[in-house]
Structure formats: structure tokens, C-alpha cells
Structure 1
Amino acid sequence: MKRLLTFLIIISHAAACNNGHDEADAYGQFEADETLVSAEVNGKLLRFKAEEGTILEANQQAGLIDTTQLYLKRGQLQASREALQARMPNVASQIKVYDDQLEAAQRDLKRAQNLLADKAATQKQVDDLQSQVAVLKSRKNASLTNLNDQNRSLVSEMNSLEFQLRQVEDQLEKSRIVNPTKGTVLSNYVEVGELVQMGKPLYRIAKLEQLTLRAYVSEDQLVNIKIGQEVTVRVDKPNDAFQN
């Protein structure tokens, strides 16, 4: 955004001077690049350094908005995350129980099948062991499905908590009022202790080291103006003039 500074200038170009008069050929104003800094979160303004006339550096902290509630919310979310992590089932350890039982049942079945071949065991014994192996496989698969469903549900809750934590961290970061660009504070709009809301203007800052002069000439004067032509600029203060 351009800021119009409040001093009037007069431009007299060389052609006018050669004509023997010193009247103004154009009038204009100096402009500066200006930035309006606004609050990004809601809360009480605890610290504020952007006094009018103060020179602030880029990325310098210019103030702080109360973060108490955000810190409390972050602590609550972190506690909820830890509780969820504790509820996460250890799929590998729980399934290992079924794997051990299944391995033992399969050994017994193989032994019974060998004994049956030697007529040292009955078909019923083999059938019973086969049924036992089938039941254990079914239980293992059902348990694995149940544990995976639990995990998916808990992971979904965990992801939701992580997003909420990121939002809080972002708000905590935005509670620090960071000056975006080096410049001079032109005006401020708040005082320490005030409640501010997101989007509320806090202060206005501009780079005054280099100004842009914008002047307006009439249509008739355009034929006498060339790029690179030297002009005399006068401000509305006596005896103040410079050429460029």
C-alpha cells in the first residue's frame, strides 16, 4: 500500500526555467510503501512496543497477545494424546498368543496323523485335533480383525488430536506480534491491556528511507517532458529545493 505523506512538492522542469519564469509546472506528493499490521488471534494485549515514531526491524517482536488459554488447551490435548497412545493395542504381542497355541496344536495333529498311520491313534483323535486347529485359526483371524479395527479408530482420533495441536501451536505463534518489515511506525491503534480481535489493526509502518515522488502534469506539458530529464523539486518549506 502507498502512503501519501503530507508535504506538497512543486516540480519545475528545465524548459520552464529557460522561459524565464519559476512557476510550478506540476504538483504532487511523496509516497512511501506502507504496511498495516493487524492481530491474528483474539485476546488481551500484554505487551506492545510499536509506539509512533519507533523504528522497528523486520521480524522484530512488537508485542504479545495473552496465550494463557492456548497453553492450557495445548496441555489438555497433549494429555489426551498420551491417553490414546496408552490404549493402542499391541497387535503383535496379542496375536503371538494365538500363534503359539496354533503351533502347538499343529504339532499335536501331525503326531496324531503319524500315529494313525501306525494304527496307534484313532481317526476321532485326528479329527478332534483338526477341529482344534481350525478353531484356533478362526479365533486368530477374528482377533486380528478386531485389533486392526481398534487401531484404525484410535489412529483416527490421534490424527484429529494432532491437527488440533497444530492449530493451537499456530495460534501460539501468531500471538507473538512480529513486525513484517523494517520501517518507522506511523500510527498505532491499541494500548496494552486492551482486548483485541483477529483482524483488528494494531499499527501502521512505512519505509521512509526511500520515498517515491508522484507528480501530475497537464496534457499540454507532456511534449516537453522526456525520460531522464532534470527537474527541480521544491517542497512547501522556504529555500528547500533539490535537482534530480
Structure 2
Amino acid sequence: MLAACSGKDDFDASGNFEADEVIVSAQQNGVLLAYRVREGDRLNIGDTVGRLDVRVIELQKEQAEASIASLGRKTSSGADQAELVRRQIAVLEAQLRHQEKERGRLENLVKADAATRKQLDDMDAGIDQLNRQIAVTRQQLTLNTYNTGLQNRSILSERLPLEKMVGQLQEQINKGQIVNPVAGTVLVNYAMRGEMQIIGRPLYKIAGLDTLDLRAYVTGTQLSDVQLRQQVTVRVDSGKNGYRSYPGTIVWISGKSEFSPKNIQTKDERANLVYALKVRVKNDGYLKIGMYGEVIFLPRLLRQ
């Protein structure tokens, strides 16, 4: 009664309750095939609340996976071709051994004047031709092996880009699942099942209501009486029952002044500049976003 008759407020600051509101939006284009969000629902982090139609992206992923699988069929071991060349070399080497053996005989005949020198020279020319042919065939074997490896590496080099594409497409498919990012209560729902959604379109708004912040304002003369983590009392109107009181903690104090909002009452109404602060209060279910609240910095006995 004395406080009322004196014309002075019996609180130090006042303001409105607020919460960190998160707007959850679609991360993919498509028809909303499933959706189970209603205003007032309490959701946990990681809850799947809806699903978008991403069948086209799934088909693109399957196509990329099929391309990866086909790479193995495009490659060649080169074993058959290499074996054929090796057999050619074996035949030439057998011919060479036979020619060298025949040359030995021919040489003995030349020494015995039973054969001419020209026959021996022709035999040497044939042996030399076989040696060159064997050398060329060996080079062909090496070249074929190199070309086969080069061709296989060129084909297999397409695997990594395709695998990255599959990963990107899978990420887009995952975004077709609507996963709730924060724990809290759904405040507003903007979507309905069956609607066409596009990336960035809001689906619903959610906020954690277990604790609320009372954004209040104090004058410059009161600023020296408040500090971070200071314990204060917050009270709200409870109708015929008077007031409800809650313990609160100052979690933020603005570092700059601002003009007093028209809807905020302060202890010193003559002050034009005020400082904003936030008082965190545990919610028992009675507190609501936008509700008016008052802050008392000191116990009532010390205030009097």
C-alpha cells in the first residue's frame, strides 16, 4: 500500500518474454508426400517429421551407379592378346634354333666343299631376319601391355567423379527427409501434405519453451546495479491470484544504449535512453512468448 501511494513502481525493470525461434524450411524441391507437424507438438532433435518426393534424384543416382558398374566391363586384361604374341615369339625362337642348327651343318659342308659360300650367307641372312623379327615382336608385346594398362587407367579414372556424383545425389536424397533440427514446441505450421515445396520455403516455426528470456530495459542509473549471472526475481500477472514469481538469471546485458520502446515501462520514466538485458527463466508451462513480466533486482526488504 505504501509503495502504491508513493506513486513509485515496486519493480526495477519490465519487458516481454521471448524465445529463440527457428524456422525450418524445405531443403529440396518436391511434393510433400508425408508430414506430421501440428502446432503445439513437442519435437526432439533428429525427429523425422516429413518426406519430399525425390524419385527423380533417386533415378539419377541409380544411373550413376550403373555407369560405375559398367566400367569394369569396359576394361581389358590384355591376357589373351599377350598370350597370342608370346606364342608367336615361341614359334620364331623355335625356327631360330632350327636355323642355327642347320647353319652349323651347312658350315661343315662349306668347309668340305660340299656347299657353296652363298648358301651359308643366305642362311646367315635368314637367321638375322629371325632375330630382328623376334625383337620386333617382343617390343609389340611390351607396347600392347602398356597400351592396355593406359586404356584401363583412362576408363577407371571415370570412377572417382561418378562416385562423387553418387555422393552428391545421395545427399540430395537425404535432404528429402525433413528432420527437426532443434528440440522444442511447434509454434506455427505453414505446410500441408500434398503441397509442392521448393528449397527455402518455410515449413514450420519451432522454439524451445522449457526456458524463456525476459527482454527488459533498465536506465543508465540502474546499470551499475546489474551484472551477468546475477540472480533476480521475475514476476508475472496471475489475475485474481496476484503475481507468480520465478527465479531468474541475467544472461545478457547490452553494451550500448537505445531509446526506450513505447510499450516498456521503466523505473525512471524521465530517462530517454535505456539498456536492454535478458533474464533467463525456467518455464513451468505458464509463461508464454510475448507475455509481460517484471524484474526485481533486490529483495523486497532491502528495497524498502
Q: Residues 175-214 of structure 1: matches in 2 within 5 Å?
A: 175-214=176-215
TM-score normalised by length of structure 2: 0.64
Larger Rg over CA atoms: 2
- The correspondence for 2:13, drawn from 26, 33, 39, is 26
Matched AA of 1:59: G
Q: Which moved more, 1:218-227 or 1:162-171?
A: 218-227
Aligned-pair CA distance for 1:237: 3.9
Q: Which moved more, 1:161-170 or 1:59-68?
A: 161-170
Q: Secondary structure at the match of 1:187?
A: strand
Q: Deviations over 1:154-179 (max 9, x none)?
A: 22333332222222211111111111
- The correspondence for 1:65, drawn from 39, 44, 52, is 52
Q: Which moved more, 1:23-32 or 1:192-201?
A: 23-32
Aligned-pair CA distance for 1:142: 3.1
Which runs of 5 or more residues in structure 2 are unaligned? 109-119, 248-304
- Partner Cα distance (1:153, 1:89) in 2: 12
Is the contact made by 2:39 and 2:187 (CA closer than 8 Å) also made in structure 1?
A: yes
Task: Give the aligned partner of residue 102 of structure 1.
Answer: 89
- Partner Cα distance (1:228, 1:124) in 2: 104
Q: Secondary structure at the match of 1:35?
A: strand
Residues 232 and 20 (structure 1), Cα distance of their counterparts in 2 relative to 1, 3 Å cut: farther
Q: CA RMSD in A?
A: 3.0
Aligned-pair CA distance for 1:192: 1.1
Aligned identity (percent) is 36
- Partner Cα distance (2:160, 2:246) in 1: 65
- The correspondence for 1:240, drawn from 214, 239, 243, is 243
The answer to whether 1:80 aligns with 2:67 is yes
Aligned-pair CA distance for 1:107: 5.7
Matched AA of 1:41: Q
- Partner Cα distance (1:93, 1:101) in 2: 13
Give aligned pairs, total.
Answer: 228
The answer to whether 1:140 aligns with 2:127 is no
Q: Deviations over 1:108-131 (max 9, x none)?
A: 546655665674883223212212
- Partner Cα distance (1:172, 1:111) in 2: 70
- Partner Cα distance (1:103, 1:236) in 2: 105
Is the contact made by 1:232 and 1:241 (CA closer than 8 Å) also made in structure 2?
A: no
Q: Which moved more, 1:45-54 or 1:33-42?
A: 33-42
- Partner Cα distance (2:43, 2:160) in 1: 40
Aligned-pair CA distance for 1:152: 3.0
Aligned-pair CA distance for 1:86: 1.1
Q: Residues 47-62 of structure 1: matches in 2 within 5 Å?
A: 47-62=34-49
Matched AA of 1:154: I
- Partner Cα distance (2:202, 2:92) in 1: 75
Task: Give the aligned partner of residue 262 of structure 2.
Answer: none
Task: Give the aligned partner of residue 296 of structure 2.
Answer: none
- The correspondence for 2:32, drawn from 33, 45, 52, is 45
Which runs of 5 or more residues in structure 1 are unaligned? 1-15
Aligned-pair CA distance for 1:46: 0.7
